[in-house]
Structure 1
Amino acid sequence: MNKRFVAAVALVLGASLGISAVAAERVTPKEAEAMVKRGVAFIKATPRDKAMAEITDPKGQFVDRELYLTVYKMDGTAMAHGANAKFVGKNMMDLRDGNGKEHIRERMEMAKTKSAFWQDFTFLNPVNKKIEPKQMYCEKSDELVVCGGIYKAMN
């Protein structure tokens, strides 16, 4: 079924039930995991520069609502970022979330011992422009950590 049609139906149903449009379109954990797995496969099958450009493209196949992929090298350098191309090529190890947590540093530490994991932090939701709790699903693939996450609305 067409994604736009489904989104339109969700908006109408959400409005009729008193649910906000953003809540009606929230990404699920399964969708985040599936996109990360698609991203890992794409990186393995595509020349590195082309893969990183596609993942960074805000209109590309790896952006869906507030879900987008990020790709980091183990040293904290952003190789691709679907929500903010300005991060690409920069070492983000010292970046702190809205609560002061060094979430990139924590992510890289987790990737040293786990091949797949979920991480909690806060980040700017690119759809509603609010700082929200975020859960990021990550998979380590060779020397890269590929992640995509869901936002949780604050009550």
Structure 2
Amino acid sequence: MHQTRALFAAAVFACALPLHAANGGASRADAEAMVKKAVAHIKSGGEAKAYADFTGKAPQFIDRDLYIVVYKLDGTVLAHGSNPKMVGKNLMELKDIDGKAFVKERMDMAKSKSSFWQDYKFTNPESKKIEPKQMYCEKLSDTVVCGGIYL
């Protein structure tokens, strides 16, 4: 009987896991922890070193499909853990496949919240497919530090 209950509990737990985590992708908790680690790194090591680490794909800031992106509040990319070519570009008008200006929305959210989650669609660097994404962001001075998960 105890073994049956344990198997039932394990099955319930497995069904409760987000699909992306079950498929090997990062979880919401992973994203929040990574962003907090990135914010701490910026505060302790300085912006220049931290942004170079994020963009240079330092192993502690890459976890499967999870990476760090840092924006100025005007939408300019300061660091990008998946695509270094984005650094220095203003993405304020960038829209997802559904026409959502997600960077503008993100910057607007950062003006009124110190941390938040945002939904949009973006290309997963592992699957190379456009997928639903949730981005966790924390405002730090005049920047926004973000890490996202694919669903």
Query: Higher helix share goes to which structure?
Result: 2
- The Cα of 1:98 is off from its aligned counterpart by 1.5
RMSD (Å), alpha carbons = 1.7
Q: What do residues 60-99 of structure 1 show as CA deviations (whole Å, max 9, x unaligned)?
A: 3211100001000000000000011011011110111121
TM-score, structure 1 as length reference = 0.82
Moved segments of 4+, more than 6 Å:
none
Residue 70 of structure 1 aligns to a residue whose secondary structure is: strand
- 1:4-83 paired onto structure 2 within 5 Å: 23-83=22-82
In the other structure, the counterpart of 1:97 is 96
In the other structure, the counterpart of 2:135 is 136
Aligned residues: 133
Q: Amino acid of the residue matched to residue 116 of structure 1? A: S
Q: Structure 2: state its 5+ residue gaps.
A: 1-20
Bigger Cα Rg = 2
TM-score, structure 2 as length reference = 0.84
Percent identical residues: 57
Residue 61 of structure 1 aligns to a residue whose secondary structure is: helix
Larger displacement relative to structure 2 (89-98 or 58-67): 58-67
- The Cα of 1:59 is off from its aligned counterpart by 4.6
Q: Structure 1: state its 5+ residue gaps.
A: 1-21
- The Cα of 1:32 is off from its aligned counterpart by 0.4
Q: Amino acid of the residue matched to residue 123 of structure 1? A: F
1-structure distance, mates of 2:104, 2:144 = 12
